[in-house]
Amino acid sequence: MARKKTDPSESTENKKPAAGKPKKPAKSPKAVKLPTDDSTAQSITVRRTSTASPPLESTETTVPIVDNLEDPETDKAVDDIMAEESDIVLAVGDSQADQTPQDKPESSWRGLLRSKWTWISVVVILAILFGLPASRYRLLGLVIKKEVSITVIDSQNKSPVSDALVSVAGTTLKTDANGKAMVKAGVGERAMVITKQYYRTTDSNYFVGFKSNPPATIKLVATGRLVPITISNIISGKPLANAVIHVLNTTVRTNAEGQARVALPAGALSDNASISLSGYNTKQVSVQVTDLSVTANSFTLTPSGTIYFLSKQSGTIDVVKSNLDGSNRQTVLAGSGNETATTTRLLASSDWHYLVLQADRSGSGPALYLINTANDQVSEFDSSSATFNLIGWSGHSFVYNLTSTNKDQWQAGYEVIKDYNADQSELNQIDQNLAVGSAATYAYQNFANFSLVSGALVYDTQWIAQGGYDLVTNSDTIRAFQFNSQVLKDYQSFPADSTQSIAANRYQPEAVYFAVLNSTSSVTSYYQYNNQNVSSASINQTIFNQTNPAYLLSPSGTYSVWSELSNGQDLFFIGSSSATDHKQIAALDNYSPYGWYSDNYVLASNGSQLYILPASGLAASQQPTLITAYYEPTGSSNYEYGGF
């Protein structure tokens, strides 16, 4: 059939519709209708309009989303997802419009992906899935998780059930001492299972929503007898929270009041249990199976730590250690049998990391030994032929001076001051005395009045003349050695020929008075060493002669402890490093401060008995906790780690 030719001059705009056939109006986009039983159904509109020439027809697809739960936060999440999908459709459409024809034919898959209808269909399908509550939460739960607070309590007494296993959506956690567990789970309905030995297992569902989920409280029914248990600190008497009680096949944790209830089978009268807590020694106990609060089920734990002391229980002077309550007693170094009461001393660093033992173990004279408490290793570091004067510890440096038995007074080096760095295993000489003259007529320096304050060894030097030696060219001094800088310095000097004596009195934990008596004028001048400086002190002899307490600084140097006698009682005080801002922590009869164990506990002695008490203070009816009896050699003055 011959085709009808078209007149090129005839414009399509001038064409008229055929007679009897009215022109059809332009089609408007149709909405895809989905069945819904929700009168609050929402709709999402996806529109794509290309700006390419020639202009393309605007397209809209309207998809109602069903949400029977009427959750605004869920709707917002769905809107965000649909908006993101719409952007993808727009991007694909724009990319399609910008493409130029290619000579090579396009694959069907590639063409499908480039089709705007493919992406519109994807959006429609997602809209349908997100519109249905069941599928909506199933999909969103894969990527959106919310925190759920679960509290498990006993159904009878409403007490928290600790260490119960809470499983939600495959995640399992243990409840804490308050019966609580915080679980993260995907939004939607989730299976929850709670189990605990000697309790009935609960199995239920929990709905995790987009909004903040209210805490859930689950009651467990005990199949055994609920036994109340209380745990406290043996030294302070204070309750211990989060202590773990393990008995049979179950565990519980104490709350802030140190209390817990453990479900146990009712068949036995008692069961063996283990109690543990970080920073405390584990304890084996026997628990009475009763639902009554009985004294037998109130237990104490001892803080972790080891005390070292001298003992003569074996007949020789041994170095022994024990826990802070005297348990687990062990011999660290057995005496050789040559030790004597006058030549045996034991001094601990303030943190108890090291000990120095002076002892005559060979029978040929005393020597100095270091004991490392990390492994109880013993090593000798000075066996000089000398008489030792142990001064004390400054940090991990042990300070002492010695008088040689191989030299005479008129020889230099007759007296030497040393320190042993325990960390570096290094023995150093701080100072040695000077001497002038000969055996008949001579003068020598004497070191005296040692104090360890503020990281320094403070003392005085005095010249002593023999045989009429003239001291006109010599000087006495107040001297100090700074351990950090390793600097030895004379802070004040006095003519030796007119200085009759120098005395010292430690009036604060970190400060010392000096009284210098002039032999010519009989006038006493007063000085004070404080904060690495010596200055004149505006005091008199009465103030200087005051008896000051033996201050003991805590390991950190933050606190000091001392005692004062009042109305027949020894009052224990805790104060700052300068002994200010103090408070009374105990009123005891015939006790004296012995040392510290960490910054939390104070050691005290009563005769040859060693005790421990909390630095926070004893309760009105509370007494110090006895650690052990110990052996105190002649002339020993506690541990002296503060330099007294």
Q: Is the pLDDT of residue 66 over 60?
A: no
Q: Is the pLDDT of residue 144 over 90?
A: no
Q: Is the pLDDT of residue 204 over 50?
A: yes
Q: Which residue has the higher pLDDT, 208 or 428?
A: 428
Query: What's residue 583's pLDDT?
Result: 95
Buried b (16+ CB within 10 A) or exposed e, 452-462: bbbbbbbbbbb
Least-confidence region, from 287-291, 386-390, 521-525, 640-644: 640-644
CB atoms within 10 A of CB 418: 21
What distances in angstroms separate CA 417 from CA 392, 443, 447, one per listed residue? 12, 19, 9
User: Is residue 346 packed enough to be buried (19+ CB in 10 Å), middle (13-18) or exposed (0-12)?
Assistant: buried
pLDDT, average across residues 259-278: 93
pTM here is 0.73
Query: What's residue 634's pLDDT?
Result: 73
Among candidate residues 116, 180, 176, the one with its CA nearest the CA of residue 148: 180
Query: What's residue 215's pLDDT?
Result: 78
Least-confidence region, from 110-114, 236-240, 428-432, 438-442: 110-114
Give the list of residues 6+ apart from residue 404 with CB closer than 8 angstroms, or none: 384, 385, 386, 413, 414, 415, 416
Beta strand 456-466 pairing with 259-264: unpaired
Distance CA 600, CA 602 (A): 7
Q: Is the pLDDT of residue 315 over 70?
A: yes
Q: Which residue has the higher pLDDT, 488 or 142?
A: 488
Distance CA 631, CA 221 (A): 57
Token couple for 257: 């009041």
pLDDT grade for 183, boundaries at 50, 70 and 90: confident
Domains in the chain: ranges and CATH: 31-96+113-140 (no CATH), 145-220 (2.60.40.1120), 225-301 (2.60.40.1120), 306-544 (2.130.10), 552-629 (2.20.25)
Distance CA 636, CA 592 (A): 14
Express each pLDDT in 383-410 by its tens digit: 999 999 999 999 999 999 999 999 999 9
3-state SS class at 120: helix
Q: Is the pLDDT of residue 46 over 50?
A: no
Distance CA 152, CA 168 (A): 14
Give the list of residues 6+ apart from residue 628 with CB closer than 8 angstroms, or none: 307, 309, 311, 320, 322, 326, 329, 609, 610
User: Is residue 14 packed enough to be buried (19+ CB in 10 Å), middle (13-18) or exposed (0-12)?
Assistant: exposed
Distance CA 409, CA 405 (A): 10
Upstream peptide bond of 54 is cis (omega within 30 degrees of 0): yes
Least-confidence region, from 70-84, 143-157, 548-562: 70-84
Least-confidence region, from 24-28, 121-125, 493-497: 24-28
Query: What's residue 15's pLDDT?
Result: 44
Least-confidence region, from 182-196, 508-522, 546-560: 182-196
Q: Is the pLDDT of residue 419 over 80?
A: yes
Q: Is the pLDDT of residue 20 over 50?
A: no
Q: Do 353 and 596 form a contact (C-beta atoms < 8 A)?
A: no
Token couple for 122: 């994807």
Buried b (16+ CB within 10 A) or exposed e, 493-513: ebbbbebeebebbbbbbbbbb
Distance CA 201, CA 221 (A): 8
HSE (CB half, 13 Å, CA atoms) of 611?
22
Which residue do the tokens 């109305």 mark? 567
Adjacent-strand bridge partners of 284: 274
Q: Is the pLDDT of residue 7 over 80?
A: no
Least-confidence region, from 39-53, 78-92, 106-120, 231-245: 39-53
pLDDT, average across residues 536-541: 97
Query: What's residue 155's pLDDT?
Result: 86
**Percent over 70 (pLDDT), the chain:** 75
Express each pLDDT in 456-481 by its tens digit: 999 999 999 999 899 999 999 999 99
Query: What's residue 45's pLDDT?
Result: 34
Query: What's residue 208's pLDDT?
Result: 73
Q: Which residue has the higher pLDDT, 230 or 151?
A: 230
pLDDT grade for 275, boundaries at 50, 70 and 90: very high
Instruction: Compute the mean pLDDT over every residue in the chain, rounded to the nearest whole number.
Output: 82
Query: What's residue 530's pLDDT?
Result: 95
Q: Is the pLDDT of residue 64 over 60?
A: no
Query: What's residue 238's pLDDT?
Result: 96
Q: Is the pLDDT of residue 41 over 70?
A: no
Q: Is the pLDDT of residue 357 over 90?
A: yes
Query: What's residue 266's pLDDT?
Result: 85
- How far is Cα of residue 490 from the mean position of the Cα atoms in its chain? 42
Distance CA 87, CA 272 (A): 67
CA angle 119, 123, 129 (to 5 degrees): 140
pLDDT, average across residues 106-128: 60
pLDDT, average across residues 535-564: 94
Query: What's residue 635's pLDDT?
Result: 64
Q: What is the largest CA-CA distance in the chain?
A: 156
Token couple for 624: 């110090």
Least-confidence region, from 158-167, 355-364, 526-535: 158-167
Q: Is the pLDDT of residue 517 over 80?
A: yes
pLDDT, average across residues 280-286: 97
pLDDT, average across residues 595-609: 94
**Percent over 90 (pLDDT), the chain:** 60
pLDDT, average across residues 202-220: 77
Distance CA 458, CA 455 (A): 10
Which residue do the tokens 């004390």 mark? 392
Express each pLDDT in 571-585 by its tens digit: 999 999 999 889 999
Distance CA 394, CA 482 (A): 10
